Structure 1
Amino acid sequence: MPLTLMDVGVETTVKTIRGKDQTRKFLQNLGFVEGAKVTVVSSLAGNVIVNVKDARVAISEQMASRIMV
């Protein structure tokens, strides 16, 4: 399921990233790689704040919907 459907505070693992090569590369550079542990910190106003690799990253819901967990 996409990252946007995850509950706040639940840790999960990235299974795959969908989208064009450029989009996948951008998300991989932020730390969203297969097997990475991620936790949704908050989701509001069309943005999702995620803990990934000991860092907090804010991404749009559109980008978050491409991350499958």
Structure 2
Amino acid sequence: MPLTFMKTGETGTVVKVREKGDVLHHLENLGFVAGAEVKVVSEQAGNFIVEVKGAQVALNKQVAQRIITR
């Protein structure tokens, strides 16, 4: 399911990132790789703050929809 389906406080695991090019490379550098655990810290108006690999990252809705979790 896309990261956007997760609620505040929920934890999931990244399955894959449906993106390519520079955006994919940037997300991988931030820690969004297969098997990484992500936790939704906050969600407001479709924008997310998530914790991945000990760091908090802000994502807009369009990018969060491309991160597939379970």
List 4+ stretches of structure 1 deviating above 6 A.
Answer: none
One-letter amino acid of the counterpart of residue 45, structure 1: A
RMSD, aligned α-carbons? 1.0
Q: Which residue of 2 aligns with 1:34?
A: 34
- Number of residues paired by the alignment? 69
What does residue 63 of structure 2 align with?
A: 63
1:8 deviates by 1.2
Aligned to 1:48: 48
| Normalised TM-score (structure 2) | 0.90
SS of the aligned residue for 1:33 comes to coil
Segments of 5+ residues of structure 1 without an aligned counterpart are: none
Q: Percent identity?
A: 52
Q: CA deviation at 1:46?
A: 3.7
Deviations 1:8-60 (A, max 9, x none): 11111000000222221111011101100000111113421001001111011
Distance 1:46 1:14 in 2: 19
Between the aligned partners of 1:37 and 1:46, the Cα distance in structure 2 is: 20
Q: TM-score, normalised by structure 1?
A: 0.91
2:40 aligned counterpart, secondary structure: strand
